[in-house]
Every structure is written in C-alpha cells, then in structure tokens.
Structure 1
Amino acid sequence: MSYFSDQNYQNLNPNNFIPAEYESCDFTQCDFSGLDLRGFSFENCSFHNCDLSNTKVPGVSFRGVRFDNCKMLGIHFQACNPFLIEFTFKNCQLDYCGFYNLQLKKTVFSSCRMLEADFTMANLTSSSFVGSDLSGAVFEQSVLEKVDFRDAQNYRIDPELNRIKGARFDLDGLPGLLGKYGIKIG
C-alpha cells in the first residue's frame, strides 16, 4: 500500500486520489463526493472546504482527523474501521450521516448542521454539539453522559431511552428533553 506524509493537496482531481495511507496531510477544496474510499487510511489529516458527500467508507480508518467547513451528506460512518476512530467536525454539513453504534468519546461537532443524523447506540461520552443544528437527529440507546448540548438547536432526546447523566443543556433546550411529556415551558 502507498504511503503519503505531510502533503498538501488542493483542488485534487479525484482520479488522482489513490487508496493509500495518508498521515499529517491537508486536503483543501477537494471534491470527493460519491467516491469509494475503501482501502484508504487517514491519520492526523485535515480536510478544509471539501465535499465528501455520499462517499463510501467501508473499512476506512479515521484517526485524529479534522473536518472544517466540509459538506459531508449521507456518509455511513458506522461502516468505517472503528479502531481508534477520532474525528473533529467544525462548521460542517453532516445531514443524513450515520454514526450507529460507534465509540465517539470526546468527539467535537462544533456549529455543524446534522439533519436526521443517526446516533443510535453510539457512545458520545464527553462529546460536544455546541452550536449545532440537530433537527431530526436520532438519539436512541445512546450514551450521552457529560455531552455538551449548550447552544445546540432542534434536538429531541428522550431521557428514558438514553444515558444523559452529567450532560449540559441550555434552558432553551428543555423542550427537546421534555417534549414527549407534553409539558409547556415558558
């Protein structure tokens, strides 16, 4: 397998993007939408202003990977290699992404749009969703202990179906926690 380290890629032609191990590489304004990334490995890499929508990620390794201002619609992250998985997302569109049953402790989703993202059975202990839009996101049998939901919007979390001990919420977020009870707040 090929190995690339400390490379900067800008406007990379997807035809020149070969399955390899990429370590400490930066990808800027690259369009990878719809690509099959099977056989790729990313460690301590950064993606800036890239489109990765509908990429296929079976077996792909993401270790210490940062995504800034990326469009990442419909990615099934539950198919990637779960070993040492570690992401940071900032100002990304993660609509319709799946994180089913992943160990995502301390993952940062900062100011992201995550419409109908699926976090069913995910362990998100000590993660952060600060400033994110979670409209239609699914949290069921998820571990949300010590998760920071301050300034997050439009979430619906059933405290009876999820572990939320120590999670942080704004007062504005109470309807997202108590909505199923038909309680009027304010």
Structure 2
Amino acid sequence: MSYYADQQFQNLIPENFQPGEYEGCSFSQCNFAGMNLQGFSFEDCSFTNCDLSNCKVPGVSFRGVSFDSCKMLGIHFQSCNPFLIEFSFKNCQMDYCGFYNLQVKKTIFNSCRLLEADFTMANLIGSSFAGSELSGAIFDQTVLEKADFREAQNYRIDPELNRIKGARFDLDGLPGLLGKYGIKIG
C-alpha cells in the first residue's frame, strides 16, 4: 500500500487519487464525489472545500481528520473502520449522512447542515452540534450526554428514547425536546 505524509493536494480528481495511507496531508478543493474510498486510511488529515458526496467508505480509517466547508451528502460513516475513529466537521453540508451505532464521542459538528442525518444508537457523549441545522435528523437510542445543542436549529430529540443527561440546549430549542407532548412554549 502506498504511503503519503505531510503532502498538500489541491484540485484532485478521482482518477488521480490513489488508495493508500495518508498521514498529515491536506486536501483542498478536491472533487471525490461518488468515489469508493475502500483501501484508504487518513490520519491527522484535513479536507477543505472538498466534495465527498456519496463517497463509499467501507473499512476506511479516519483518525484525527477535520473537514471544513465540505460537501458530504449521503456518506454512510457507519461502514468505515470504527477503530480509533475521530473526526470533526465545520461548516459542512452533510445531509443524509449515517452514523448508525458509531462510537464518536466528542465529535464536533459546528455550523453544519445535517438534514435527515441518522444518529440512531450512536454514542455522541460530549459532542457539539452548535449552530447546526438538524431538520429531520434521527436521534433514536442515541447517547447525547453532555452534548452541546446551543444555537442548533430544528432538531427533534425524544428525552425518553435518548440519553441526554448534562446536554446543553437553548431556550429556543425546547420545542425540539418537548414537541411530542404537545406543549406550547411562549
């Protein structure tokens, strides 16, 4: 397997992106939409202004990877390698992404759009969704203890189906927690 360290990649297209181990690399303005990333491993890498929509990620390792201002529609992260998985997202468009049953504590999803993302049975202890748009996102048997939902919008979280002890919410977010009870606030 090829090994790449501390390299910068800009404007890459799938034909020029080879499977291998990438460590300390940065990717900027690359278009990997629809690509199968099986056989890839990323450690301490950053992706900025990249399109990874509908990428297939079976067995892919993400360790210490940051995504900033990326388009990442429909990625099923639950199929990637769960061992030491760690990533963060800022200003990313992540509609229809799946995190089913992943152990992704302390993950940052700041100012992201996560329409209909699936967090069913995920462990998100200490994660941050600050400023994110969560319309239609699914939280079912999700561990959200100490998670930060301040300034997040349009979430629906059932306190009876999810663990939310110590999670932080704005007053504006109360309808997202109490909606099923038909309570009118304000």
Query: TM (normalized to structure 2)?
Result: 1.00
1:26 is matched with which residue?
Answer: 26
1:1-186 alignment runs, 5 A limit: 1-186=1-186
1:92-138 deviations in whole A, cap 9, x for unaligned? 00000000000010000000000000000000000000000000000
* Residue identity opposite 2:133 in structure 1: D
How far residue 14 of structure 1 moved from its aligned partner, in angstroms, is 1.4
3-state SS, counterpart of residue 177 of structure 2: helix
3-state SS, counterpart of residue 136 of structure 1: coil
1:22-60 deviations in whole A, cap 9, x for unaligned? 000000000000000000000000000000000000000
3-state SS, counterpart of residue 100 of structure 1: coil
**Whole-angstrom distance in 2 between the partners of 1:32 and 1:12:** 8
**Whole-angstrom distance in 2 between the partners of 1:14 and 1:140:** 35
1:56-83 deviations in whole A, cap 9, x for unaligned? 0000000000000000000000000000
**Whole-angstrom distance in 1 between the partners of 2:135 and 2:78:** 20
How far residue 10 of structure 1 moved from its aligned partner, in angstroms, is 0.3
**Whole-angstrom distance in 2 between the partners of 1:69 and 1:124:** 22
How far residue 13 of structure 1 moved from its aligned partner, in angstroms, is 2.5
**Whole-angstrom distance in 2 between the partners of 1:111 and 1:85:** 21
How far residue 16 of structure 1 moved from its aligned partner, in angstroms, is 1.2
Identity of aligned residues (%): 80
* Residue identity opposite 2:95 in structure 1: D
**Whole-angstrom distance in 2 between the partners of 1:13 and 1:147:** 36
**Whole-angstrom distance in 1 between the partners of 2:149 and 2:167:** 7
3-state SS, counterpart of residue 27 of structure 2: strand
**Whole-angstrom distance in 2 between the partners of 1:146 and 1:16:** 42
5+ long unaligned stretches in structure 1: none
State the 4+ residue runs in structure 1 displaced beyond 6 angstroms. none
5+ long unaligned stretches in structure 2: none
Aligned CA RMSD, in angstroms, stands at 0.3
How far residue 20 of structure 1 moved from its aligned partner, in angstroms, is 0.2
